[in-house]
Amino acid sequence: MTTNTATAPATSTATSTVDLLVGIFRDVLGLPDLTADTDFYEAGGDSLTAFQITGRLQEALGADVPVSLVFAYPTPLDLAEVVDADYGAA
């Protein structure tokens, strides 16, 4: 049982980060139907919205997340993978 529990948190953390980012992207971009695979640029994102996204992400995580990550990883799914790897649980 302990072995299964040990693998579950990584999936839960990744899923919750994706969900968090989808919610932030939806709110900031004003797109209620936005999905984890929606591209930031194609959804109308610009530098102002990128700063809004990282600001909200920083509030949620308590970590300084560079705005350049939004440009480099423009979907909530891609960004969540990087955020979990760089700022997730140790």
- Mind listing the pLDDT tens digit for each residue in 52-76? 999 999 999 999 999 999 999 999 9
The span from the CA of 42 to the CA of 50, in Å, is 13
**What does pLDDT average to over the chain?**
87
The residue among 18 and 8 whose pLDDT is bigger is 18
Q: Does domain 2-84 have CATH number 3.40.1260.10?
A: no
To the question of pTM greater than 0.85 for the whole model, the response is no
What pLDDT, on a 0 to 100 scale, did the predictor assign at position 90?
A: 42
The span from the CA of 6 to the CA of 10, in Å, is 8
What pLDDT, on a 0 to 100 scale, did the predictor assign at position 4?
A: 43
Q: Which band of pLDDT confidence, cut at 50, 70 and 90, is reported for residue 13?
A: low
CB-based contacts of 47, cutoff 8 Å, min separation 6: 67
Q: Residue 16 pLDDT more than 60?
A: yes
CB-based contacts of 3, cutoff 8 Å, min separation 6: none
